[in-house]
Chains A and B, each alone.
Chain A
């Protein structure tokens, strides 16, 4: 049972294990370059970054000993990793509680006389094992990156690894409990995400206003932040560890009780039955038109990513002044923000950070679109479509057009929001530069969509994984190439690199043509693969 359950986490383990390893490795390896090699430069770096950290407390925990490699990695790598692994915990918990039931695995297990309590214990133990391996990989990444400069003491690394492991397992256990109460996997994902966001905000409240410090101790994010053992003088917070262990145990027991009380695919608390008349509304006229019909079916993906992009645009532009005012004292940052932006550091910040984040968001949007195409295939919708008089090339053409229109919408919403917010906070942006940097995001996103289209045309089940790996490798190359002095051709393997820095330095034409070529070839290959493949096996 445990082995079967562990197997279900293998892809999450591989993906997040690599992300954890690489994240800690990069930050450890980059420390010398950003902080300098002398004690004085590191002290100055720590002062400036501590001020900067105050502005980023919505995202990162309070820093501790940023003048040291260990303190920097604890803040810069382990801080955001909490947000990364929480996604894993939410998704894995909903899948373990509800996905297994949708796939009827739970039916088989229960029929094979596995008790419900044992089933819950096995699912918790399996994720515990997978997350432990991933957390250890994170620790190893730090050790490998730090070993370039200095010897590493393994005790503190083990302490931070333990803290990260208990954190992700706590979130999993809580989301697993929440999923017991919700009757569908999507509902469980949404409810789990809602609970985790509330817990996160509780911690943020404590970070930004110390009068809420007591309240923040309700949050596993706080328990995680409280362990600062990696930095010199930090501590392994016993209270946080104990609370995590207790929360896992309590959530596990309550999950087992809830599972024992409910039907498979049911909820423990039956609502009074009432006949709800379904709304008999006329179907959208968009369903009658090519492209519009696929766009209509994927409208929530477009809407959600447009909203996320707008929200991030508001946030990034809103904090530009305070962050820049803090960071401008850092010699390296001052040069970075002013030299490349013609002397205007706010403009430099928006260029470097907003359009950098926009790239990540659009890559996520493209992956989400492709997951919809792959699902059409695996869920039999493509079979239904191709049983109508529809050309196979038209299916790919429709996907390409949908990706184009969807990307234009997301980019337009993000860029217009950023421009409006900049005007509201009194930062003057060059309209031509914003337009240039914005429209180049379209071939950027379509590059991912084209590769995803090719993958989903022939290997729909692997398409999202392939695209996720590509996005991650692209990010990795972009980060590592300057750090490790890789040649230009290697750096240009990154889609981020091909996008360039159009807000500041104009269009990187070779990059643009390369992206256009990938788009044309990707959708072309997708058409050929779709033409020759078999559907509905």
Chain B
């Protein structure tokens, strides 16, 4: 029986070692250094929030070598920054995170400049569908971890017991460990390498949530009593071009009821740019329908 436990123990250590071959240290990240993951040949990722305002960072490679890596792109929404790391070999094995199961053993692997490779273990505690970060970015899958996040783990990989990468670790709300799944990372890395940022949709309006009196909502045939009042229309913006006026109350976008400003997010995904959105709004007590071509949010 003890032999069984020794095998299990060795498997875990092997998984850490295997994953460790693609884990780098980013000593300037965060307050006391964070981790990064070599994602493809010459390309690594780290947690964007930890390297705010830096155009290039020092990285420590798995070999122990130190090199400088320019930041090739960053996305605040998914918390992914892409680093160009010359000499970073691609050995990372990605898993299809759609195959992961609740209860599966996972390891969070990180690296620190002085101390080297570090890991904590736990399991997948819940799996859910797509979700949006506070910044509005779409994440393909919700992977909740029962795992102790350790200092500097952000940017490192979350791997399974075979050492295959499920996603990038970052801090979630209330000191939890959040995972950006591999498929989302792939999508974001592709875009960041192409254009340096993630294109986001844009209406050019300022809004505020409002409530209709119950009777008014019913007589207009609305699903909810809520809407969003347009308090600003940017001249020449997509909404202005579509004929949206100050004081309009948006009640539906592409047929789905608006319950607050967050309801606009699905219409603002980057794949919607250039496409037409159907907007239902209340103007002067009557329902009006407009077609609005989604623009691209200007870069700051």
| A associates with B | no
Hey, which bits of chain A sit against chain B, CB under 8 A?
Answer: none
Hey, which bits of chain B sit against chain A, CB under 8 A?
Answer: none
